[in-house]
Amino acid sequence: MIYNYTGIILGKYNIGEADRIYIIYTLEAGKIRAIAKGVRKSQAKLAGHLENFTLSNISVAKTRGMGKITGAVAENNFSRVKNNFEFLAETFKSAGILNKLVKEEEKDERVFNLFLEFLKTMNSKNAISENSIAPSFLTQGFIFKLFDCLGYKIEANVCVKCGKSFSQEGNYFSAERGGILCRNCAAGFKNRIKTNANAIKIIRIFFKNNIKSLAKLRVEPKDINNLRIISQEFFRWIA
Ligand SMILES: [Zn+2]
């Protein structure tokens, strides 16, 4: 039986003498693994359509066990991202987190579309050439929105414990509670992360906007760093 997928390559590893296993996030079936036989031979044409982060139409023959890739045609290889070290590093990080947080064969169109939108925005014409977006900020937007898609939305509107509004400073993120704690409630929590007022605002913005519009915001490096520490802690807690 042949299955046709629209998929984005999340990663790959070599096996045997000339084969490779690909991890693919597909629109139709979520994350899948499939083997491409002989793909590392120099004359193999398939490899170019299956590079990391390429959006491809992929055919997989499957009876039982792992499917075998029989064909692939790249639709978008996001070449601007691949030619810029910083953008590429951020994309690797995002794909790695996605790969670790989703199980195989769990279809989720929201997750697929979120990752595709992230790649398209990172690859947009003036993003790199005019330095118009901070790739690390877009990565944080992707990760926070991914948490939300997977059922781990961070509460940032009111204190996750008492439900009251936040005062300007003195608030903390708690991974265990899945949100921001106000000054009063934070006192009893050990693994808490200081969260500045801007970071709280930005988290709210993440949930109200798509990734494309996030690219228009200008954000201070210290705020991006605060968001990074929060998302790393929450990722560790979920994973
Ligand atoms: Zn509170």
| Residue 43: predicted pLDDT | 81
Q: Ligand 1 center to residue 86 CA distance, Å?
A: 38
C-alpha span between 110 and 162 (Å, rounded): 31
pLDDT over 80 at 128, yes or no = no
For residue 127, name the pLDDT band (cuts at 50, 70, 90): confident
Distance 236 CA to ligand 1 centre (A): 24
Q: What is the dihedral of CA 30, 72, 87, 180, to 10 degrees?
A: 0
Mean pLDDT on 72-94 = 95
| 81 Cα to the center of ligand 1, angstroms | 42
95 and 72, same structural domain?
no
**Claim to verify: residue 93 and residue 143 sit in the same structural domain:** yes
Which is nearest to 220 in space by CA: 194, 190, 197, 188? Answer: 197
**Residue for token pair 């109200």:** 208
CA of 110 to the centre of ligand 1 (A): 32
Give whole-number Cα distances, 116 to 110, 229, 238, in Å.
Answer: 10, 24, 23
Mean pLDDT along residues 9-21? 96
- The percent of residues in the chain predicted with pLDDT above 70, rounded, is 98
Confidence of residue 131 (pLDDT cuts 50, 70, 90): low
> How close is the Cα of 187 to the center of ligand 1, in Å?
10
Indicate whether 88 and 116 sit together in one domain.
Answer: yes
Q: What is the mean pLDDT of the chain?
A: 94
The residues, ordered by sequence, that sit 6+ positions from 83 with a Cβ below 8 Å of its Cβ are: none
Same domain, 86 and 34: no
pLDDT digits (tens, 9 = 90+) for 171-228: 999 999 999 999 999 998 888 999 999 999 999 999 999 999 998 888 999 999 999 9
Residue 52 sits at the vertex; the CA angle it makes with 43 and 10, to the nearest 5 degrees, is: 130
Total domain count for the chain? 2
Gap from CA of 173 to ligand 1 centroid (Å): 11
Same domain flag for 85 and 141? yes
Q: Say whether pLDDT at 148 is over 70.
A: yes
